[in-house]
Structure 1
Amino acid sequence: DALIQRKSSRIFTKRLSLSQIGTLLYYSSGINKNKHFNEPYRFYPSAGARYPLELYIISLRSNLPSGLYHYYVKNHSLEVLLRMEKFDFNKYLLQKAFNKCSVLIIITAVFQRNLMKYGDRGYRYILIEAGHVGQNIYLLSSALNLNCCAVGGFVDDSLNNLLHIDGLHESVLYVFAVG
């Protein structure tokens, strides 16, 4: 059903619960603790199991206090990076359609994790991997009866600065509005 129901929607009416946020983060990019695996694989493929992606979440209208968080995959937890009462959508996103979303999920890449093994081809693998995680976010949103829309129109430097990343060693790749 999740595949059939999957769609992009800019209509955000749902306030995400902590459980929904946890489900989105864990099953989109968390560690699959399936006892049949000898190694801690994730819910998406990664070239050479390098896992160059990081997830951040901006909680705007959810049961998670408003702010910017980093998702720690290894212990399935969130670190508060910044508390924020307001989020200036115009500074970070190029479209106003997302200003009613409950959360923004931001995917970044730490490039060296792939480049050290694959050289320049590592960039391609990073982009493919971001697509896998993005599809997981879409399918999970659908399964949770939430609307989701990928956001390609964002202001790179502004988002990188907000996350305190330099845009060279780590950079924003992909943003998802969910609600």
Structure 2
Amino acid sequence: MSRYEQHRSFLKSNFNEFKSIKTDKMKGIAQPPSVKSYGLSDNIINLPKVSEGVVKKSNIYECIKDRRSTRFYADESISLEELSYLLWATQGISGTTKAGLTLRTVPCSGATHCFETYLFITKVQGIKRGIYRYLPVEHKLLFMFELDEIDKKIDEITLEQPFVPNFAKKAAVLFVWSATPYRSEWKFDITAHKKILIDIGHVCQNLYLASESVDAGICAIAIYDQKMIDELLSLDGSEEFTVYLAAVGKKLEK
């Protein structure tokens, strides 16, 4: 039982301990960037302006009621307009504070925004297959690289799924979220890590509801090969690493 208890402590609030800590923010250390930079020569792809025109089910009650994890997908592409909407719904910037902090479409502890969104795209209209990164400030895509046998690589990364083996490679897009913990540690020190995992839950739930609203299916994935996917995305596994995945595709008609 002690093995469980050791990890259960992570779920509890340690705010009293936090009150006695002088955080890096309190020390006057500069806040880390809330987004990754990119080069002027990088291949940047414009995304369509987000529009409610892509929404097929606008009743939020219906979206919540009908939401399910979907592991069966049609052999059909999603549109670039739909992808633009899903990215906006999960990490899009909806405003700024007086202090200049960005506000997004999902809650985030202290507006620290620890996440980057990577995409394994296999079936999106007008977009070639490959690996991309979302740029939330610009609402654009950064093309990273093509990947030989991307379907097979997705299969290897997502390991042995317990309910429907090999389902992820049949999706149109695999969302991959990484965390850069110091963005939150700078402000919240040892209390940051619980907040980070709570916040990524907010992100994925928005993807569930937004996907349902465009008649797309989604399944969150927490079983994956950590080392393989981090190395593939050139993440160091310490300062930035993968924390959650989700497969999205058009629903297979029953």
Fold shared, TM-score > 0.5 on shorter chain: yes
Q: 2 CA distance for matches of 1:125 and 1:158?
A: 25
1:98 to 168, 173, 177: 168
- Superimposed CA distance per residue, residues 98-121 of structure 1 (whole angstroms, 9 cap, x where no aligned partner): 221100001110110001111121
1:83 to 146, 153, 166: 146
Q: Is the 8 A contact 2:155 2:169 kept in 1?
A: no
Q: 1 CA distance for matches of 2:154 and 2:118?
A: 16
Q: 2 CA distance for matches of 1:84 and 1:156?
A: 18
1:10 equivalent to 2:71? Answer yes
- Superimposed CA distance per residue, residues 115-159 of structure 1 (whole angstroms, 9 cap, x where no aligned partner): 111112101111011000000000001001001000111100111
Query: Number of matched residues?
Result: 177
1:67 equivalent to 2:134? Answer no
Q: 2 CA distance for matches of 1:150 and 1:46?
A: 19
The AA in structure 2 aligned to 1:54 is E
Q: 2 CA distance for matches of 1:90 and 1:145?
A: 24
- Superimposed CA distance per residue, residues 64-104 of structure 1 (whole angstroms, 9 cap, x where no aligned partner): 21010110110001101111242123321113122211000
1:41 to 96, 99, 103: 103
The AA in structure 2 aligned to 1:163 is L
Over aligned residue pairs, what C-alpha RMSD do you find? 1.4
The residue that corresponds to 2:116 in the other structure is 54
Q: Is the 8 A contact 1:66 1:85 kept in 2?
A: no
The AA in structure 1 aligned to 2:120 is I
The residue that corresponds to 2:33 in the other structure is none
Q: 2 CA distance for matches of 1:130 and 1:27?
A: 13
Structure 2 residue ranges without an equivalent (≥5): 1-61, 250-254
Equivalence map 1:129-140=2 (5 Å): 129-140=199-210
Q: Is the 8 A contact 2:216 2:248 kept in 1?
A: yes
Per chain length, whose mean CA-contact separation is higher, i.e. which structure has more relative contact order (CA < 8 Å, sep 6+)?
Answer: 1
Q: Is the 8 A contact 2:122 2:172 kept in 1?
A: yes
Structure 1 residue ranges without an equivalent (≥5): none
Question: What TM-score does the superposition give when structure 1 sets the normalisation length?
Answer: 0.94
Q: Is the 8 A contact 2:115 2:178 kept in 1?
A: yes
The AA in structure 1 aligned to 2:65 is I
1:15 shift after superposition: 1.4
- Greater radius of gyration (CA): 2
